[in-house]
Structure 1
Amino acid sequence: MKKIKIAVIGTGRIGQMHIENIANLREYFELIAIADSYNDHLEEIADKYQIPVFTKNYQDVLTNKDVEAVLIASSTDTHAEIIMAAAENGKHILCEKPIDTEIERIKKVLAVVKEKNVFLQIGFNRRFDHNFHKIHEYVTNGSLGDPQIIKVSSRDPEPPSLEYVKISGGLFSDMMIHDFDMVRYLSNSEVTEVFANGAVLVDPKIGDAGDIDTAIVTLKFANGALGVIDNSRQAVYGYDQRAEVFGSKGQAFSENDRLSNVELDNATGGHVDKIPVFFIERYTQAYVDELKAFYATVTEHKEPAITGFDGLQAVKIAQACLESLKTHKPVVLK
């Protein structure tokens, strides 16, 4: 079985999660380099996972002839630049979402990727979740008939730091962007219109930073279906991730995963385990399966499971929602 020689650029929380997953997928990947301009503990990480090359300059990784592919887990504002540089150096790319926050810049990135004939997979890991994937199967095999209503609830256990809020691009671009991809995936259709409502109900300081922390977006789809997404930056009971598709032949919905499915019934009532409180805990297997899909793309020379076009569409929806929030009007997507 051929191993892909891969490097990771960006070694923060999610970057280190990817490093650990790659290290555990030894039959698929050989992790030969890491890069991060801001991490002063690269040598420790390299020692822990036996990575031969570590550097503050990501260009050192991209010009390394032994590197066949890169996983980009750096800050959002660096994604476009690094993707284009990786493509110019002939590296296949798995990049965390989003590609960028500007539509024209994303189009430029995708043009370079196409010109250099490399694979680009976008890190919308939730498509690999066993629950959402099963709903998608029911949609695509006709079990639900014609999709009519798509619902997604996505609520974080606690808000991010204000420092992060200020550079995140906003709730639509940072948080709900996963759900924009999810409704496209579950509806098997494109979004044609959005109407966004938002508020600051969790922390006034988030509003002071120019963002919202609570939002509901209604959507129309090309296949005639209607959709609704709700987001909150704080669900005190855990990381709330649910979805539903209602169709002409029935419905499919997923509740939250729990630490166990056991219910205890006694004199005080019914008791179940709490839902996960951390996104990495909730999507542990999805992140692993995401890497396996990338491996299959590179070794079998097939279209990525989540393409650059998917990344572009999600950002288009996010921008339309921001416009709708500002104008208090529905926005049609071209």
Structure 2
Amino acid sequence: MLKVGLLGAGRIGQVHAVNIAGNRRSTLVAVSDVQAEAAAELAARHGAQARTSDEILADPAIDAVLVATSTDTHSDLIEAATAAGKAVLCEKPVDLSLDRAQACLDRVSATGRPVMIGFNRRFDPNFAALKTASLAGEIGKAELLSLTSFDPAPPPVSYIKVSGGLFRDMMIHDFDMANFLMDDRPVSLRAVGSSLVDPEIGAAGDVDTAVVTLTYADGRIAVIKNSRRAVYGYDQRIELLGAEGLLQANNMLENTVVKSTTAGVVSAKPTYFFLERYMPAYAAEWEAFVAAMLDGQAMPVTLEDGIAALALAEAATRSARSGESVAL
């Protein structure tokens, strides 16, 4: 049984608490949060204790911690947890600074403790099936990847100001998926971004609409499209074109009812946001972490993977500002 401490009792921390407590091979021992009341409420809901982060890290009975705190604390907590002998699953990104993330990798490597980064989309059942089919050679060599990620509505500008920007906060998921699905790292990148959804986002120095093109050493291409506004719901799609065919993973809909009349054919909208869309992925992600810890399986998403995605996010930020391609 894996004994776990949860750092962070916010929205994503609550998702993880359900999966930790609901997994037959893990138990939620303690919860911490800067808001003590939030930690106490979440802990009570799952039969755990509310403690400080320092107390959780100092407890030798706790095997692993899940870091679901604000991004600016991730590197520090990863380092502190691994130095204390804990295994770690940390929400993305590793840090807002690539240099700081690389320093974190150096320090963690010295401890020998395992770290997994929470890129949950790898564990979505449909996306995972697409990856499996590609690996099996069902469409030949993958040549052109298209990733679409549109949010239903933008977050508050107060969040935008501390998020690190669209490329680090939102598109970083797609950068990781591109690395995952193409099974390679690109050699150059070009990004274009605009503020079309909310002028306050532009005033805060960020973009809300962006396209990035990744080019690989053998000429293959990946295209990523992001928007902070899709009024019809949470749009998450993948197309992977290969030499012998096409693989697609389409949206999850609110229901499967389709109405066909003389007026046309109508189906339900996509699910509204990530909590509805990716709950099975979060559960599968946690199961993979538990399996790595208890069964000796390989850690499926490493700290190095997190840094690789962050490097693409930083390059995209530079490219969007300069209007030029960035060599990687």
TM range (shorter): over 0.9
Contact 1:10 1:34 in 2 (8 A): yes
TM-score after normalising by structure 2:
0.97
* One-letter identity of the residue aligned with 1:13: R
Q: 285-294 or 96-105, which moves further after superposition?
A: 96-105
Tell me what 1:48 maps to: 45
Does the CA-based 8 Å contact 2:8-2:32 persist in structure 1? Answer: yes
> Which one of the candidate residues 289, 296, 305 is aligned to 1:294?
289
Distance 1:69 1:182 in 2: 26
- State yes or no: 1:107 paired with 2:102: yes
Instruction: Note if contact 1:189-1:222 (Cα within 8 Å) is conserved in structure 2.
Output: no
| Secondary structure, counterpart of 1:180 in structure 2 | helix
Please give the residue correspondences for 1:105-254 in structure 2 after superposition, counting only pairs within 5 Å: 105-254=100-249
Partner of 2:92: 97
Deviations 1:80-109 (A, max 9, x none): 000000000000000000001222221221
Alignment partner, residue 12 of structure 1 = 10
C-alpha separation between the residues in 2 aligned to 1:22 and 1:204? 40
Amino acid at match of 2:243: S
Specify the alignment match of 2:27 in structure 1: 30
2:301 aligned counterpart, secondary structure: coil
Look up the equivalent residue of 1:307 and give its one-letter code: T
Q: After the TM superposition, which of the residue ranges 142-151 and 72-81 deviates more from structure 2? A: 142-151
Taking the aligned partners of 2:143 and 2:41, their CA distance within structure 1 comes to: 52
How many residue pairs get matched? 328
- Measured in 2, the distance between the counterparts of 1:10 and 1:134 equals 31
Paired position in structure 1 for 2:58 = 63
Deviations 1:19-62 (A, max 9, x none): 1122221x1111000011134332222222111x212x311110
Normalized against structure 1, the TM-score is what? 0.96
3-state secondary structure, aligned to 1:191: coil
User: 1:264 is matched with which residue?
Assistant: 259
Contact 2:31–2:40 (CA under 8 A) maintained in structure 1 = no
Q: Is the 8 A contact 1:11 1:39 kept in 2?
A: no
Native 8 Å contact 2:188 2:327 kept in 1: yes
For residues 141-183 of structure 1, what are the alpha-carbon distances to aligned partners after superposition, in whole Å with 9 as ceiling and x for unaligned?
2112121110000000010011110000000000000000011
1:130, distance to aligned residue in structure 2 (A): 1.4
Q: Partners in 2 of 1:106 and 1:223 — Cα distance?
A: 29
User: Which amino acid letter does the alignment assign opposite residue 25 of structure 2?
Assistant: Y
Q: CA deviation at 1:110?
A: 1.5
CA distance in 1, matches of 2:316, 2:39: 39
Q: CA deviation at 1:66?
A: 1.1
Q: 3-state SS of the aligned residue for 2:34? A: coil
Quickly say closer, same or farther: Cα 1:4–1:104, change in 2 above 3 A. Answer: same
For residues 66 and 290 of structure 1, the distance between their equivalents in structure 2, rounded to whole angstroms, comes to: 23
SS in 2 for 1:50: coil
> 1:119-146, CA deviations, whole angstroms, 9 ceiling, x for partnerless residues?
1111000000112112211221211212
Once the two structures are superposed, residues 187-234 of structure 1 have per-residue CA deviations (whole angstroms, 9 ceiling, x without a partner) of 111111110000000000001111000000111023431111000001
Q: Which moved more, 1:105-114 or 1:165-174?
A: 105-114
Shift of 1:184: 1.0
Moved over 3 A (4+): none
2: CA distance between counterparts of 1:43 and 1:104?
35
Q: Give unpaired runs (5+ residues) of structure 1.
A: none
Amino acid paired to 1:266? T
Q: Between 35-44 and 186-195, report the one with greater CA deviation.
A: 35-44
Identity %: 41
Worse-matched range after superposition: 137-146 or 150-159: 137-146
Q: In 1, Cα distance between the equivalents of 2:218 and 2:12?
A: 35
3-state SS of the aligned residue for 2:191?
Answer: strand
